[in-house]
Amino acid sequence: EDKVVQSPLSLVVHEGDTVTLNCSYEVTNFRSLLWYKQEKKAPTFLFMLTSSGIEKKSGRLSSILDKKELFSILNITATQTGDSAIYLCAVETSNSGNTPLVFGKGTRLSVIA
Amino acid sequence: NAGVTQTPKFQVLKTGQSMTLQCAQDMNHNSMYWYRQDPGMGLRLIYYSASEGTTDKGEVPNGYNVSRLNKREFSLRLESAAPSQTSVYFCASSALRGTLHFGNGTRLTVT
């Protein structure tokens, strides 16, 4: 059974801190790993990672994938209160057809002023 | 610029009542999905439709049915609601692979 595990499940930091969120996976026929941010409503797409060792970056957020050790990290530097959200990791497989993503349980990040 | 539209946004049902959650997307995506989200459980797939005319069960399909009415619309039906179905329901769509586009969710309470 495909599995995606995120840690920690929740995290409280102060503005300006740097945080690292973890995502490990055990799936057959890995294709890509995706990160989403969920504030009050719908999850919104952050990154898609397919190759090991290549960092994806968007402003203060960055992510990298290690396909040998089967994990990814999402880094947020100089956190702001607007970064408070649930961060979801999902893995896409190529088992058959358009196989749905497998999601982890998410990390709830709270950034306090 | 609608994207994925879900209705209703909120619903309260009594145990045993039925209802249909509606979802429509205007991005010409082939695939559509229904997820539920419960505290501490992440997003769990209920049903999905890889293309018009096909539907498949996900991780938690019991108590639900779906209809892929056409390429745009994918509805989720609860025939006899139970308190365990209290949740936030998200519809999503995708093109050939990868990135999901989500609707804003339906918050359902079953008493």
Torsion of CA A110, A14, A19, A63, to 10 degrees: 70
pLDDT tens string A83-110? 999 999 999 887 655 568 889 999 999 9
- Say what the pLDDT of residue A111 is: 98
Q: Considering only CA atoms, which of A57, B2, B87 is closest in space to residue B76?
A: B87
User: Three-state SS for B92?
Assistant: strand
Please write the tens of the pLDDT for every residue from A27-75: 888 889 999 999 988 999 999 998 888 889 999 999 999 989 999 999 9
A70 close to A2: Cβ distance less than 8 angstroms: no
Instruction: Using the predicted structure, report yes or no on whether residue A13 has a pLDDT greater than 80.
Output: yes
Confidence (pLDDT) at A52? 83
Task: Check if B88 contacts A (Cβ < 8 Å).
Answer: no
User: How many whole angstroms separate alpha carbon A104 and alpha carbon B29?
Assistant: 24
CB-based contact A6:A23 (threshold 8 Å): yes
pLDDT at A94: 76
Nearest to A103 among B42, B48, B104 (CB): B42
- DSSP H or E stretch at residue A5: strand A3-7
Hey, are the CB atoms on B31 and A98 less than 8 Å from each other?
yes
The minimum CA-CA distance between A56 and chain B, rounded to whole Å, is: 15
pLDDT digits (tens, 9 = 90+) for B64-99: 999 998 999 999 999 999 999 999 999 999 986 668
CA distance B36 to B21: 12
Q: Whole-angstrom Cα distance, residue A96 to residue A93?
A: 8
Contacts of B50 in chain A (CB under 8 A): 97-98
Secondary element (H or E) of residue B64: strand B64-68
B40 touches chain A (CB under 8 A): yes
Assign A81 to helix, strand or coil. helix
A101–chain B Cβ distance below 8 A for any pair: yes
Contacts of B35 in chain A (CB under 8 A): 103
Q: Say how many Å lie between the first and final Cα of chain B, rounded.
A: 35
Q: What distance in Å separates residue B109's CA from the closest CA in chain A?
A: 17
